[in-house]
């Protein structure tokens, strides 16, 4: 059997191009003892993949040239030599941008039939879990706090704002463009939305956070974050989730050096990785699912059709073209 894959063809300089990827056809491997063959339904499109395309040192190894692009994938079990999985089961794992993958059972998580498969990549998958652990474990909001979120209309940001609201906080979301601005207050319940492409961000933040920012959940970094750091409240917590504005930079961008503000406000700034919380995913997923079922958590998905269009979806997502969680539909359930 032949399967299609998207492999890394070249290491991008600056913004990735479609020619940095190649669509190839290969023979699908036969699963060995203890292995499972999975047919992809949806693959995920995420900012961290830009880091994997680079050789720069990071928390995970780079994708090699010619290797399948890494991604979370939700798919159907086709063949299984593991008693825990049967053909037809829906599973999620780091299986890459490819139609078929062979994996060990320990690398897969089962998705219950009651859960739409896309949610295993979104609110009930890595992005929802990032929002959950980043906000609750690192941001530690308390009722009455003002929580500011950058990248607030994105996959992670849309969940952070709603969780902060459920925790009794005032929420201020920052995103780019009129459609996303409408989603911030209309769909995701932010108290205030700021369009960083059109508004005077400094003035808008000052008006929205008269008592300062207690929690800043940062998905973006760069100049936007410099402006938020100037508005921290006493004992503020800055959650460094992502720095998407910097991912295409060839050399680090130097900005104003604002760490003195951490002294002034006795603030804490902390980076985190969602995968460090993997042993606790089982505690978070039922809570997120309960909020979803109760209609307290809303979400948008931005689905592109066809594995061959994954590079275009990825480049578009880094440009801000996605409205909600970026996904690529590879196949319909069989
Ligand atoms: P996303 O927000 O759905 O998509 C990326 C968004 O980034 C774009 O839609 C765009 O939104 C924004 N963006 C791009 N360039 C920008 C710039 N120069 N300035 C401001 N905004 C810019 O992506 P996501 O999956 O939810 O990821 C959000 C962040 O979380 C990323 O930084 C990612 O690396 C991080 N993350 C971290 C972890 C972890 O474990 N630490 C896990 C998952 C994700 P606008 O249209 O609003 O500009």
Class of domain 126-275: alpha beta
Q: What is the mean pLDDT of residues 47-62?
A: 95
- What is the C-alpha R_g of the chain? 20
156 in ligand 1 pocket by Cβ < 6 Å?
yes
Q: What does the pLDDT look like over 206-261, one tens digit per residue?
A: 999 999 999 999 999 999 999 999 999 999 999 999 999 999 999 999 999 999 99
Helix, strand or coil, per DSSP, at residue 221 = coil
Q: What does the pLDDT look like over 3-12, one tens digit per residue?
A: 999 999 999 9
CATH 3.40.50.720 domain locations along the chain: 126-275
327 in ligand 1 pocket by Cβ < 6 Å?
no
Mutate to test the pocket of ligand 1, among 154, 221, 227 (most ligand atoms within 8 A of CB): 154
pTM for the model stands at 0.98
Superfamily of domain covering 2-122+300-329: Medium-chain alcohol dehydrogenases, catalytic domain (3.90.180.10)
CATH 3.90.180.10 domain locations along the chain: 2-122+300-329
User: How many C-beta atoms lie closer than 10 Å to residue 158's C-beta?
Assistant: 33
Helices 126-133, 281-293: inter-axial angle, 10-degree rounding: 100
- As a three-state string, the secondary structure of 149-180 is EECCCCHHHHHHHHHHHHCCCEEEEEECCHHH
- Separation of CA 76 and ligand 1 centre (Å): 28
């Amino acid at each position: 059997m032949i399967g299609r894959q998207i492999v890394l063809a070249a290491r991008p300089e600056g913004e990735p191009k479609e020619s940095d990827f190649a669509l190839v056809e290969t023979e699908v491997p036969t699963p060995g003892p203890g292995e499972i063959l999975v047919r992809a339904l949806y693959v995920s499109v995420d900012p961290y993949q830009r880091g994997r395309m680079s050789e720069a040192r990071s928390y995970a190894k780079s994708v090699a040239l010619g290797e399948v692009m890494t991604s979370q994938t939700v798919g159907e079990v086709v063949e299984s030599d593991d008693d825990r999985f049967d053909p037809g089961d829906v599973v999620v794992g780091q299986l890459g941008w490819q139609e078929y993958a062979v994996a060990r059972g320990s690398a897969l998580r089962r998705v219950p039939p009651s859960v739409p498969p896309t949610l295993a990549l979104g609110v009930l998958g890595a992005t929802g879990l990032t929002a959950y652990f980043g906000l609750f474990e690192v941001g530690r909001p308390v009722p009455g706090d003002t929580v500011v979120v950058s990248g607030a209309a994105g996959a992670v940001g849309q969940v952070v704002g709603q969780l902060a609201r459920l925790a009794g906080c005032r929420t201020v979301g920052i995103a780019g463009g009129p459609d996303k601005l409408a989603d911030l207050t209309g769909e995701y319940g932010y108290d205030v939305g700021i369009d960083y492409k059109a508004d005077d961000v400094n003035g808008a933040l000052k008006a929205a956070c008269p008592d300062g920012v207690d929690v800043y959940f940062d998905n973006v970094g760069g100049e936007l974050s410099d402006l938020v750091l100037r508005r921290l409240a006493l004992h503020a917590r800055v959650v460094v989730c992502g720095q998407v504005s910097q991912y295409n930079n060839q050399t680090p961008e130097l900005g104003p050096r604002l760490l003195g503000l951490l002294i002034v406000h006795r603030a804490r700034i902390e980076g985190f990785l969602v995968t460090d919380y993997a042993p606790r995913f089982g505690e978070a997923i039922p809570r997120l699912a309960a909020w979803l079922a109760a209609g307290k958590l809303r979400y948008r998905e931005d689905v592109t059709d066809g594995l061959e269009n994954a590079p275009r979806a990825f480049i578009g997502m880094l440009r801000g073209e996605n409205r909600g969680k970026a996904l690529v539909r590879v196949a319909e359930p069989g």
